[in-house]
Structure 1
């Protein structure tokens, strides 16, 4: 084999390996009923807590944006590191008990086989399609990290940010502006605490005035609803518990709840403006792109092969023997 031919062969092997590390059939032999188990538990959680789906997809998002999709967001103070749960971007994050219940159900049938990172990916898909959104084939094969990165969690995309820093944070993990707009569409369901958007009501950015991109009537409704900073308000005032394209029609009407939502449409000359218009025009356009962007996000720097571990308890790293989770606080 000539040197140039060998080089091409080597490049092809690298290319195939990088895209084949996560596969649809990873658990086909070891845990074939995984999708059914997770979906059952997600539906059960949503029946008792309508916010469960939004909580689960937030965990997957915050996991993948900090050192890749490795379950690190779920760790409670692993050795030598401070938990990502203590990071600024995760303050108030909820739903660990839902992840625990899903993991326990999976462990009963397939002990020591399925990673917490893969459970987050599957649960996010189920959270979306159970509440009316698109479905997609989840790729598996992620392993769980034995470390966390609080600094990374401090730097997660913020609800107070303008468009350029948001775009940079997405670019830094290999996601573009279309991915930013599509993935932000997850705010079509769920709730936000008033402390994350009440700064838009008056003296916005030191102007002495409300945020001009917030519809005045909607602002008054929000002010009445916000009886305190911890009060939770629907992201979508129209269909708050359904996964649909109304997130984008709300942006067109200056009814994006967070500053980081509305800037996608209200930043003059930004490429995101037309993307928002496209998503708002047809629900299937949003659904199709959301599927693609979720799969792309789920492939951010996964641990595979012999890297990391398969945690028995999503909140704790395994003992060195790899058999049981232990409390590391």
Structure 2
């Protein structure tokens, strides 16, 4: 499945005439939701990645399942996606202000930028003019990169979407806001291989701490670990964690172990402003993946018109 960056004409000023207050409405909505629930920024950022990585940035991740069709949001990697209500609320206000104008796909793209900027990260101009897709299939969520991927698998997954190695490492830095349940990384903590009980690429003390958080058997389904436990802001500490052997996912730690990505991880760990610049560039590129020109502007993000 190959979804390359689209040639569809996106424009930072797309709504200047038709809905000049669009960005303000989305920003206020996202800010209020984040004050109420501090997990919202990480969830919206992840939602944007998961949307763009399946069929391109077409808001297919927002569609609800129907009796005839199981949608993306019910696929195994997306069961843990949350805070869809934030986009629903923003869309309702947008429909009130400028009916049938702002797509759900643009709403997620703008919201993802806003949660990063609000959390202390970079700001960039979001290119707009995406249309909403009408297709969403659970089976296609198999195409999301898994937390167990090695660097070759990650590079291949990103390349299918027209994204390079630097984009892969920069966008992985979004994990500075993330949280993971034990199920996504506990295979690294026990019986890792016939030779090693714990993944040898992992800092031993860190592994011991994670084993306490994720005991066997684990009755607490909500147990897990922040991917960057050092701060709650958007910063380059995720890369410092990886350099220290404290990447939570196998796919995080793998970035340090491969010559193709190691130098980028180390340069982002050293220089936060470099990471911020590259993250903004890569988010603009990600936002162009598979953009559809012949979709629709949904009235409600959960339903096709």
Instruction: Give the corresponding residue for 1:106.
Output: 94
1:167–1:176 CA contact under 8 A, matched in 2? yes
2:302 alignment partner in structure 1 = 315
Match of 1:218 among 192, 197, 206: 206
Higher relative contact order (CA 8 A, sep 6+): 2
State the Cα deviation string for residues 288-315 of structure 1 (Å, max 9, x = none).
Answer: 00000000000011112xx111111111
Distance 1:276 1:288 in 2: 14
Choose which of 45, 61, 77 in structure 1 pairs with 2:65.
Answer: 77
What are the superposed Cα offsets for residues 109-144 of structure 1, whole Å, 9 maximum, x if unpaired? 112111110001000000000000000000000000
Detail structure 1 runs of 4+ shifted over 4 Å in the superposition. 205-208
1:2-56 alpha-carbon deviations (Å, 9 max, x no partner): xxxxxxxxxxxxxxxx656100111011110111111111111110111101111
> Please, which runs of 5 or more residues in structure 1 have no aligned partner?
1-17, 319-329
SS state of the match for residue 192, structure 1?
A: strand
2:150 corresponds to 1:162: yes
1:298 aligns to 2:287 (yes or no):
yes
Q: Distance in 1 between matches of 2:54 and 2:8?
A: 22
1:147 to 122, 126, 135: 135
Give the match for residue 3 of structure 2.
Answer: none
Structure 1 pair 272/65, CA: closer, same or farther in 2 (3 Å)? same
How much does 1:88 deviate?
2.6
In structure 2, the CA distance between the partners of 1:301 and 1:20, relative to structure 1 (3 Å rule), is closer
Aligned-partner Cα distance in 2 for 1:34–1:206: 56
Question: How far does residue 206 in structure 1 lie from its aligned partner after superposition?
Answer: 5.0
Of the candidates 178, 182, 188, which is equivalent to residue 190 of structure 1? 178
Residue equivalent to 1:235: 227
**Larger Rg: 1 or 2?**
1
Counterpart Cα distance in 2 of 1:184 and 1:82: 28
Describe the SS at the equivalent of 2:77: helix
TM-score if structure 2 supplies the norm length? Answer: 0.93
1:276 aligns with 265
Partner of residue 12, structure 1: none
CA contact (8 A) 1:81 1:147 kept: no
Query: Would you say the 8 A contact 1:86–1:150 is kept in 2?
Result: yes
The structural deviation recorded for 1:164 is 1.0
Structure 1 length as normaliser, TM-score? 0.86
**Contact 2:53–2:143 under 8 Å retained in 1:** no
Closer/same/farther in 2, CA of residues 309 and 205 from structure 1, 3 Å limit: farther
Q: Secondary structure at the match of 1:242?
A: coil
8 Å Cα contact 1:68/1:301 also seen in 2:
yes
Q: Which deviates further from its counterpart, 42-51 or 123-132?
A: 42-51
Count of residue pairs the alignment pairs up: 296
Residues in 1 aligned to 2:126 and 2:279: alpha-carbon distance in whole angstroms: 13
Instruction: Say if 1:59 and 1:73, in contact at 8 Å, map to a contact too.
Output: yes
Is 2:114 aligned against 1:126? yes
> 1: CA distance between counterparts of 2:78 and 2:158?
17
- SS of structure 1 residue aligned to 2:180: strand
Matched, 1:204 2:192: yes
- Look up the match of 1:258: 249
